[in-house]
Amino acid sequence: MAILCKYTYDPLDRLSTVTPLAQAVANRFYNGEQLMTELHGDRQRTCIRAGAQLLAQQ
């Protein structure tokens, strides 16, 4: 059985890193239960929220 992707979780059982086969690692950062930033190679995605409402994503 081949490994296609490796997942790691933080102590609060949230997905923290995703490592696809032969690709850059994707790191995830949270504020409470909400995903705030995802870094994947040289790309960055940031979410700005007010409560549960997504206001902006860059």
In the chain, the largest separation of any two C-alpha atoms, in whole Å, equals 43
Residue 54 structure tokens: 């997504």
For range 22-47, the mean pLDDT: 90
Q: Name the residue ranges covered by the structural domains of the chain.
A: 5-57
Q: Greater confidence, 23 or 1?
A: 23
- Which residue's entry shows tokens 């929220």? 49
How many Å separate Cα 51 from the centre of its chain?
A: 19
Q: What does the pLDDT look like over 3-33, one tens digit per residue?
A: 889 999 999 999 999 998 888 899 999 988 8
How many Å separate Cα 31 from the centre of its chain?
A: 12
* pLDDT band (50, 70, 90) for residue 38: very high
Q: Quick check: pTM over 0.85?
A: no
